[in-house]
Amino acid sequence: MAIQKSRNKNIGITLYILFILVPIYWLLNMSFKSNEEILGGLSFWPTEFTLENYAVIFTDPTWYMGYFNSILYVGMNVIITLAVALPAAYAFSRYKFLGDKQMFFWLLTNRMAPPAVFLLPFFQLYSSVGLFDTHIAVALAHCLFNVPLAVWILEGFMSGVPREIDETAYIDGYSFPRFFGRIFLPMIRSGIGVTAFFAFMFSWVELLLARTLTSVEAKPIAAIMTRTVGAAGIDWGVLAAAGVLTIIPGLLVIWFVRNHVAKGFALGRV
């Protein structure tokens, strides 16, 4: 009976995962096919296996620079987000100051507006100060959404560290920066991992701001993918290969932070 039940459960889970993986499999499948085969008819695996589509991406700078641009501004964004949010979260978790609770909530309200709302102000502002089409422009724009979330998550982790540890460190003679680097940051490394993950994810998948604030120099991969319609029609195979390559960084990041994220969920701030 129990075995029967758990077998049913396993079948259910297997089916669920299969269904979820269907679109990803289809993408992978397409990326190894030629355009003729994709358009030719239904086939569940590549009959003529080809790496041609990947070769196009890795040899054409307009393609691979897209990845480079994306990774560059996402990396910048994660670093800036953490650099700004760590001290802010520490202040919120350790000190009382005028309007601290209101401000903490207000931070989160920043995320309530859709990114599209900020298109116009960002575009106009960056154009007038000469930041248009730079990596830092996109990184900074994404901070508007990532910093509040990062502060919120990190504050939860920091509040889990007893204040007495700070005090003991000062009593032992630690200066603040030394305590923060040597004792405090290692204690909340799960939180930093989770925060970096969320910042990365938002910035990596966000398309609207990234596309609007760039034109050539800092053009993200997702924007390049929307412009594959050539004279000969849509280049399905290359597009699929680009899609696969776009999934990979996210996959890697998730692989590295999966344990931390579980901890983050347990702490209730994610």
Partner 1 sequence: MSLTLENITRVVDGETHINTTNLSLEPGSFNVLLGRTLAGKTSLMRLMAGLDRPSSGRILMNGADVTGVPVQKRNISMVYQQFINYPNLTVWENIASPLKLAKVQPSEIKRRVDEVAQLLHIEQYLQRHPMELSGGQQQRTAMARALVKDASLILFDEPLVNLDYKLREELRQELRNLFKARNTIAVYATTEPNEALALGGTTSLLHEGNIIQTGPAAKVYRNPINVDAAELFSEPPINLVPGRITDSQVFISEAVHFPLVQELQGLPPGDYKFGIRPSHIGLVPHNDDDLEIAVTVELAEISGSETFMHVKNQHFPLVMQLSGVYEFHTDARVNVYLPAHRLFVFDMEGKLIKAPSPIIGGAFNG
Which residues here bind partner 1, judged by CB under 8 A? 162, 164-165, 167-175, 183, 186-187
Biggest alpha carbon–alpha carbon distance for the chain: 74
User: CA angle, corner 147, sides to 107 and 180, nearest 5?
Assistant: 105
Compute CA 211 distance to the chain's CA centroid, rounded to the nearest angstrom: 16
Distances from the Cα of 115 to the Cα of 89, 112, 235, angstroms: 23, 9, 30
Using alpha carbons, select from 132, 146, 8 the residue that is nearest to residue 74.
Answer: 146
Closest contact distance (angstroms) between CB of 158 and partner 1 is 14
Using alpha carbons, select from 135, 130, 127 the residue that is nearest to residue 65.
Answer: 135
Which is nearer to partner 1, 23 or 181 (by Cβ)? 181
Which residues have C-beta within 8 Å of that of residue 255, sequence separation ≥ 6? none
Closest contact distance (angstroms) between CB of 191 and partner 1 is 14
Closest contact distance (angstroms) between CB of 173 and partner 1 is 4
Closest contact distance (angstroms) between CB of 259 and partner 1 is 16
Which residues have C-beta within 8 Å of that of residue 52, sequence separation ≥ 6? 34, 237
Q: How far apart are CA 152 and CA 194, in angstroms?
A: 12
Which is nearer to partner 1, 45 or 176 (by Cβ)? 176
Which is nearer to partner 1, 9 or 163 (by Cβ)? 163
| Buried b or exposed e, range 186-221, using 16+ CB within 10 angstroms | eebebbbbbbbbbbbebbbebeebbbbbbeeebbbb
Q: How far apart are CA 38 and CA 31, in angstroms?
A: 9
Which is nearer to partner 1, 1 or 171 (by Cβ)? 171
Which is nearer to partner 1, 190 or 214 (by Cβ)? 190
Closest contact distance (angstroms) between CB of 101 and partner 1 is 15
Closest contact distance (angstroms) between CB of 178 and partner 1 is 8
Which is nearer to partner 1, 87 or 162 (by Cβ)? 162
Closest contact distance (angstroms) between CB of 184 and partner 1 is 10
Which is nearer to partner 1, 130 or 173 (by Cβ)? 173
